[in-house]
Chain A
Amino acid sequence: MSTTQPYVSVRNLKQHFPITRGVIISRKVGAVRAVDDISFDIPAGETLGLVGESGCGKSTTGRSILRLYEPTAGTVMIGNTDITTLSPEALREKRSEMQMIFQDSYSSLNPRHSVAKIVAEPLVIRGERDQGKLRRRVEELLDLVGLEPDHMKRFPHEFSGGQRQRIGIARALALNPKFVVCDEPISALDVAIQAQVVNLLVRLQKDLGLTYLFIAHDLSMVRHISHRIAVMYLGRIMELATYDELFRNPLHPYTQSLMSAVPIPEPKVEKSRTRLLLEGDVPSPSRPPRGCVFSTRCPFATDRCRQEIPQPRELTSGHFIACHNVDDPEVSPRINESRIAIVQSLEDASTGGPDRTFAMATGAAAPGAAAPGES
């Protein structure tokens, strides 16, 4: 899958939740197939972006990989250890290497604990009792995420959303993890603050050599942080590729519709662009459609799609796709036509852009702010 040794390697992971009926004698009447047979690798020091709409199983995937749920089937290798078979003691030992950043910074920080206590808690659980050491480590961590040392004594409600997310990041980093699952860490934040947090996560990855699984429902931010992107729909991975490949060459109809739905801040393009608008809603994961899970909404679906589940295959090097029709002589020309139109309107959007940037004010060629016409 990749030339470098993957740090995280997931194979045929399934996470089904039983639906039970009956109070005294509980019996299983069905299952919610939240995650159904997914496989991917994440090379060390890289980020895999996991994208999909609500209910597609992306957060469940993140949790199953850390064994916060007991996976129904499959293996999860994290740094040469299969964590699905670890004993509880060994798993606890392993947990310091793998951490999580949560979406909701209100409910993931204890409102009765000071920042110092929140950030130091992982260390305390690991048996650190030396107050001086704890204090120094907390200061170090707060500095790392761009907070002030005197924020230590404050409580979560005294911080803004972006700052609270920084506290969550500091806590996740306390035990020097190698792998961090970021579960929609920016979804609840304002745009300007989202950029701050994404920049921070990118910098931390470079400095500390972290491996990320970055979960999001928004393709545009994911693109910025991820090396490779996996698109999920109803518990399955539809397409996986490097971001450049995915944005130049979105082959799966679902990826195309997602990409064409992301709003672009370019009025002319946004009002006239080609979209692959989907009809209806995502089916229930307790009764997924037979065959391809996307077949009920796919504008290109054929009889084969409604019968047979498409297995992910590597179409070109590193580009995985689960679709019968991408190389079907009948249907693929239409899919290709739609792909060209969608990519074209995205490219149109990248030529424009505002004629003033912050870089112009500071004079310095601030990274990422090179404006057209500016030397």
Chain B
Amino acid sequence: MNSNVNSNKNDKPILEVRDLHVRFDTVDGVIYAVNGVSFDLYPGETLGVVGESGSGKSVTMMSLLRLIPEPPGRIVSGTARFRSREDDLDLLQLNMRQRAKIRGNRIGFIFQDPMSSLNPLITIGEQIKESLERHTKWRGPEARQRVVELLEHVGIPDPDARYGNYPHQFSGGMRQRVMIAIAIACDPDIIIADEPTTALDVTVQAQIVDLTRRLSEELGIAVIWISHDLGVVAGIAERVMVMYGGTVVETGVVDDLYAHPRHPYTVGLLGALPKLHENVPELVNISGTPPSLFAAPSRCPFEPRCPWAFKTCRERRPALESVQRDGHFSACWYDMEKDKPREVRR
């Protein structure tokens, strides 16, 4: 990315990812899961990452802390500069011990399925305390008191009594609240939330989105919110990054990107969503299927499904370029602002 796409321009990004490439070696061949992803995350902001399954959105974020299985996964190249009050380091160059100090401490995680992320044999309270005792100076009764505070903070009624409960005694929404309590336990700089509400009902989802937004504001934590739901992202993110075929195809401030999408995939995605209050005879189809990731991308990954596609799209891969709107970038050979193909410099 060639510019500062930021909401608070005075700050330096807390996380700067540049040209990340991740591949998976499988018996069927090499999967090119992430192909040159770059982005910035600023302190305290919420970045929404949108894309369909297989677009590389989770792999990108998991790779940052080496949470993908290696092998078959392989981080081929890239840098991820993490800059906080105490640290200034490249996450991808850390050894195991250094990584363990960052994971769950400076960078917290919330996963889609809280049931499989919590240990069913250990009480909720002990699981949160474990994270505290590993990364902070809290010990014994003080740590326990802090855990109860955390449970209360994430909206669990009667936290003192719930400390000794096991995960199965909690509902899906409550479990996700516990995951959030673990994520914020060590007062992290960043939380990466990987589809945290996908498995929940809409009314519970609204509660969790509400809670995350409130905590992020109160505690000044930067959040990376991964989701396939443009509606949820609209409600929580300040900036959005749209991914397709292992690349970032568009990024911008949320209001601007939703009102003025400049990449055909985003245009299609927004058009495919039904509106609650509008009656349309037929929803927009993005015809065709997501791209195969078995080859290194040599052209625009969206070209086969794109109604704007022309010759250049089949020959060269577009890079993210400014679309003449503030902080808004799109990787497309077609200039939607001018409604004609972009001039290509050879």
| B275 surroundings in chain A (CB, below 8 A) | 220, 264, 349-350, 353
Residues of A with C-beta under 8 A to B274: 195, 198, 220-221, 223-224
Shortest C-beta distance, A298 to chain B (Å), equals: 12
A258 contacts the other chain (CB 8 A): yes
Residues of A within 8 A of B171 (CB): 281
A271 to B284 CA separation, bound complex (whole angstroms):
25
Contact A194 B260 (CB under 8 A): no
The answer, yes or no, to whether B120 is at the interface (CB within 8 Å) is no
- Whether the pair A192, B264 counts as a contact (CB closer than 8 A) is no
**A:237-293 near B, CB below 8 Å:** 244, 247, 257-268, 270-271, 275, 277-278, 281
Please determine whether B210 and A277 come into contact, CB atoms closer than 8 angstroms.
Answer: yes
* Chain B residues, CB < 8 A from A218: 202
Residues of chain B within 8 A (CB-CB) of A221 are: 274
- A270 and B284 within 8 A (CB): no
Judge if A37 is at the interface, Cβ distance under 8 Å: no
Residues in chain A near residue B262, CB distance under 8 A = 356
Cβ contact within 8 Å between B205 and A261: yes
Q: How far is the CB of B289 from chain A (nearest CB, A)?
A: 5
Q: Are B261 and A354 in contact (CB under 8 A)?
A: yes
- A228 touches B (CB below 8 Å): no
Which residues of chain A have C-beta atoms less than 8 A from B235's C-beta? 263-264, 267, 270-271
List of A residues within 8 angstroms of B273 by Cβ: 191, 220, 265
Tell whether, in the assembled complex, residue B267 and residue A356 are in contact, meaning their CB atoms are under 8 Å apart: yes
- How many residues of chain A are within 8 Å of chain B by beta carbon? 60
B203: interface (CB < 8 Å): yes
Q: Per-position contact with B for A318-333: 1 when CB-CB < 8 Å, else 0?
A: 0000000000000000
| Complex interface: chain B residues within 8 A of A193 (CB) | 52
Task: Please tell me which one of the listed residues A267, A277, A355 contacts residue B207 in the complex, with CB atoms under 8 A apart.
Answer: A277
- Min CB–CB distance A201 → chain B (angstroms): 11
A residues in contact with B237, CB < 8 Å: 267
B255 adjacent to chain A (CB < 8 Å): yes
Residues 267-281 of B contacting A (Cβ, < 8 Å): 267-281
Interface stretch among B11-19, B30-38, B103-111, B225-233?
B225-233
Q: Nearest chain A CB to B196's CB is how many angstroms away?
A: 13
What string of 1s and 0s marks CB contacts (under 8 Å) between A38-67 and chain B?
000000000000000110000000000000
CB of B203 within 8 A of CB of A258, answer yes
Distance to closest chain B CB from A263 (angstroms)? 3
Q: Which residues of B contact A53 (CB under 8 A)?
A: 201-204
| Contact, CB under 8 Å: B276 / A247 | yes
Q: Which of B171, B237, B254, B284 has the most CB of A within 10 A?
A: B284
Nearest CB in chain A to that of B207: its residue: A277
B52 touches A278 (CB 8 A): no
Whether B267 lies near A264 (C-beta < 8 A) is no
CB <8 Å contact, B259 and A366: no
Whether A352 lies near B207 (C-beta < 8 A) is no
- Determine which residue in A160, A191, A194, A257 has the highest number of CB atoms from chain B within 10 A of its CB, and name it: A191
**Nearest-Cβ distance from residue B140 to partner chain A, whole angstroms:** 32
Residues of B within 8 A of A270 (CB): 231, 234-235
Contact A356–B260 (Cβ < 8 Å) = yes
- B259 and A261 within 8 A (CB): no
B138 within 8 A of A: no
Q: A262-B231, A267-B234, A361-B307 are in contact. Are A190 and B284 (CB under 8 A)?
A: no
Give min CB distance, A147 to chain B, whole Å. 12
What does the 1/0 interface line of A90-103 toward B look like (CB < 8 Å)? 00000000000000
Measured CB to CB, the closest approach of chain A to B152, in angstroms, equals: 15
A199 at the interface (CB under 8 A from B): yes
**Quick check: A367 and B267 within 8 Å, CB to CB?**
no
CB neighbours (8 Å) of B271 from chain A are 354, 357-358, 369
Q: Which residues of B contact A (CB under 8 A)?
A: 52-53, 171, 173-174, 201-207, 209-210, 228-232, 234-235, 237, 254-255, 258-262, 264, 266-287, 289-290, 306-308, 336
Some 24 contacts from A to B, beta carbons below 8 A apart, are A53-B203, A160-B289, A191-B228, A191-B230, A196-B285, A220-B275, A223-B274, A223-B276, A247-B276, A262-B202, A262-B231, A263-B206, A263-B209, A263-B229, A267-B237, A267-B254, A270-B235, A275-B206, A281-B173, A347-B277, A350-B278, A354-B260, A354-B267, A361-B308
Closest 7 CB pairs of A and B: A263-B231, A361-B307, A368-B280, A270-B235, A195-B283, A53-B201, A190-B52
